[in-house]
Amino acid sequence: MSIVTVFTALAIAACFCDLAHSAASKPHILFIAADDLGWNDVGFHGSEIHTPNLDKLAMEGVIMNRTYVQPLCSPTRSTFMSSRFPIHTGLQHSVIRPTQPYGLPLNITTIAQHLKSVGYSTHIIGKWHLGFCNAQYTPIERGFDTHFGYYVGAEDYFTHRRADAVPNNSSDPTAFSVHVDGLDFRNNTQVVKNMNGTYSTIAFAMEAQRIVSQHNPDEPLYLYLPFQAVHGPLEAPQRFIDMYSHIKDEKRRTFAGMVTAMDEAIGNITAAFQKRGLWENTLMIFTTDNGGPVTVGANNYPLRGSKATVWEGGTRGSVFVHGNMLEKKGYTNNELVHSVDWYPTLLTAAGLPVTTLDIDGIDMWDTITKGSASKREEFVYNIDTNVPIAAIRYQQWKLIVGETGAHSGWYPQPTVSASLTDNQSLKVENTTTYLFDLDADPTEHFNLVKEKPEIVSMMKKRLEEIMKTYVHDLSTLHPPTAKCNPANFGDAWGPGWC
């Protein structure tokens, strides 16, 4: 063998060694999103609902006490994937209904696409809710190697079917008189027809365990697990509901069972990571997508409001981070973080540069791992010119201008003997402008509009500046259409109609 051949062989070996080291040094990422979970629906916030696995993980890691999300499902999921506020993607008004022909804009590079470009194996298990009318909107085309789950926003947990209303093909697109129904359960692009009767939370946990058990430990893994739980309809295996027979309110009883079923599933998934030898190098994020809907068993006590509102109860998420890469852990972090920040933070964890990206998110790696001060001073709760409503945060100040909508009060902590339906929210003052000092008043009881006119003026000017970047919402541009009818697509919700 010539000396040139020897040097060439050594160089190739060194190259492969560097690649292997680089891959091994990248953390596995387990990103879990619960659906419609309220502030007071987890044990680590003092709830009566049993969440032993979540509580243990939260206590071992960092509880992110001031991490914010959007008021609704699709908008928050868009922030995870795009690192842009919904006012910059057109997803600010509502959720994407199964009957609407649009999705997360296709010019956006998702976090999965970035991670895939540096060697990550990327998987999504669960709810997508970012559009599916064209295959280009679906997870397999947005950077994920596999998808096991469903496209729409909600469905039956056991039959995996969803019904919705579409226009009756008259000249009035708002005349909903035709109901359509279809199956929505996918293994990649194929419709799954043999899981009728399998509770989705259990099905998703089983698939996660399968992926983890077969994963090459030397390859970085990104597992995005947006559970269906605990979104309505209120359904759970009876054994979980029976755990809460002492709870009088039927909705709360079933809801609690759904939360505990999800907690058990998460325990099984983390055990699979440990068994496969991945856990020591896994960064786990747990978050909800919005606050809990108080009309269907959830509770956000002591925060004000509900899902679909810009009050703290609709936007302040139950969040924690777990992993050995945390230099400081076992405490509650009170730094300001927003859901748009996960994207650049996870890219930083994976060794990817983020300074050149056109995003709204801020890299919070040092804040999360070291407890350093947050780089974020401001964020947009939401701006929706259709309602109209606008809410922003600057430092400790929160300004709301417009119609705050239903469920704007305070909903007491549920008790064993009291029904949630007996709890009445306090009377809300008749105003359209609110200013709160959230450091002094996190439950939004004291409107300071009259006391702090200079702060109101400053924040309204900031709203005017932000409105210059406002993108028209896609929901009103793309109304429901009968073209989506699952009857035309093998009795399943799927792409091919836009």
Stretch 136-147: mean pLDDT = 98
Q: Is residue 54 part of a domain?
A: yes
Catalytic residue among 129, 160, 215, 338: 129
Q: How confident is the model at residue 169 (pLDDT cuts 50, 70, 90)?
A: low
Q: Is residue 454 part of a domain?
A: no
Inter-CA distances, 110 with 76, 86, 140, 226, 250, Å: 14, 14, 12, 16, 40
Q: Is the pLDDT assigned to residue 19 strictly greater than 50?
A: no
Count of the separate structural domains present in the chain: 1
What are the structure tokens assigned to 134, written together? 């064209």
In this prediction, residue 178 carries a pLDDT of 80
What's the burial of 203, exposed, middle or buried (CB within 10 Å: 0-12/13-18/19+)? buried
Q: Is the pLDDT assigned to residue 443 strictly greater than 70?
A: yes
Dist CA 76 CA 34 (whole Å) = 11
In this prediction, residue 25 carries a pLDDT of 82
Q: Is residue 457 part of a domain?
A: no
In this prediction, residue 175 carries a pLDDT of 72
For 19-52, give the secondary structure using H, E and C: HHHHHHHCCEEEEEEECCCCCCCCHHHCCCCCCH
73 has catalytic annotation:
yes
In this prediction, residue 13 carries a pLDDT of 40
pTM over the 0.85 mark: yes
Contact 370, 329 (CB under 8 A): no
60: CATH: 3.40.720.10
Dist CA 67 CA 338 (whole Å) = 5
Q: How confident is the model at residue 441 (pLDDT cuts 50, 70, 90)?
A: very high
pLDDT tens, 39-84? 999 999 999 999 999 999 999 999 999 999 999 999 999 999 999 9
pLDDT above 70 as % of the chain: 90
Stretch 409-425: mean pLDDT = 60
Dist CA 200 CA 204 (whole Å) = 6
Stretch 244-270: mean pLDDT = 97
In this prediction, residue 11 carries a pLDDT of 43
How far from the centroid of its chain's Cα atoms is residue 63's Cα? Answer: 16
Q: Is residue 38 part of a domain?
A: yes
Q: What is the mean pLDDT of the chain?
A: 92
In this prediction, residue 423 carries a pLDDT of 39
Q: Is residue 300 part of a domain?
A: yes
Q: Is residue 246 part of a domain?
A: yes
Stretch 435-459: mean pLDDT = 98
Stretch 465-478: mean pLDDT = 96
Q: Is residue 399 part of a domain?
A: no
In this prediction, residue 452 carries a pLDDT of 98
Stretch 263-271: mean pLDDT = 98
Query: Which residues constitute the domain of residue 43?
Result: 26-376+472-489
pLDDT tens, 86-107? 999 999 999 999 999 999 999 9
In this prediction, residue 421 carries a pLDDT of 42
Among the listed ranges 33-37, 113-117, 219-223, 422-426, which one has the minimum average pLDDT value?
422-426
In this prediction, residue 196 carries a pLDDT of 97
pLDDT tens, 360-400? 999 999 999 999 999 999 999 999 999 999 999 999 999 99
> What residue ranges in 408-487 does DSSP mark as E strands?
433-437
In this prediction, residue 4 carries a pLDDT of 40
Nearest CA among 467, 450, 300 for reference residue 389: 467
What are the structure tokens assigned to 23, written together? 């891959």
Catalytic residue among 28, 45, 50, 73: 73
Contact 371, 326 (CB under 8 A): no
129 has catalytic annotation:
yes
Dist CA 62 CA 337 (whole Å) = 13
What are the structure tokens assigned to 343, written together? 């994207």
Inter-CA distances, 384 with 75, 402, 454, Å: 12, 10, 24
The partner residues of 410 in beta bridges, in order of sequence, read 304
Q: Is residue 480 part of a domain?
A: yes
- The gap between the terminal CA atoms of the chain, to the nearest Å, is 62
In this prediction, residue 177 carries a pLDDT of 76
Nearest CA among 362, 358, 341, 383 for reference residue 471: 383
Angle at 263 between CA 220 and CA 362, to 5 degrees: 50
